[in-house]
Amino acid sequence: WKERDKTLLVDPDEIDCLKRVARLNEDADSIYELYKHPNPTCEAGSIWKDIVLSPSRLNIQQELKCAIQKVEIFAMQNANLLMEK
């Protein structure tokens, strides 16, 4: 993995990510059993805590769905324009 834009072997953030994955509990039956304490899913800034468990999750999902639909519609319109040319 020595391509120029790949930094897996030298980027501290990516190395930390690999270390976390290596510590996962393979026998976990839920997200709460994946990690030993301290559980990074419950730390401040955790996507799981900040988004998935958020009471406003439904609103966030609806916003994401709307954004994805807009991108898909835009892409289809551009594809149709290219076909017409």
Alpha helices in the chain (DSSP H): 12-22, 47, 57-84
Q: Above 60 in pLDDT, residue 1? A: no
Domains of the chain, by residue range, sit at 1-54, 56-85
* pLDDT tens, position by position, 66-84: 999 999 999 888 888 888 8
pTM of the predicted model as reported, rounded to 2 decimal places: 0.36
Q: Above 60 in pLDDT, residue 8? A: no
The residue with tokens 């030298």 is 10
- Whole-number pLDDT of residue 69: 93
Average pLDDT, the chain: 76
As a whole number of angstroms, the distance between CA 82 and CA 60 comes to 33
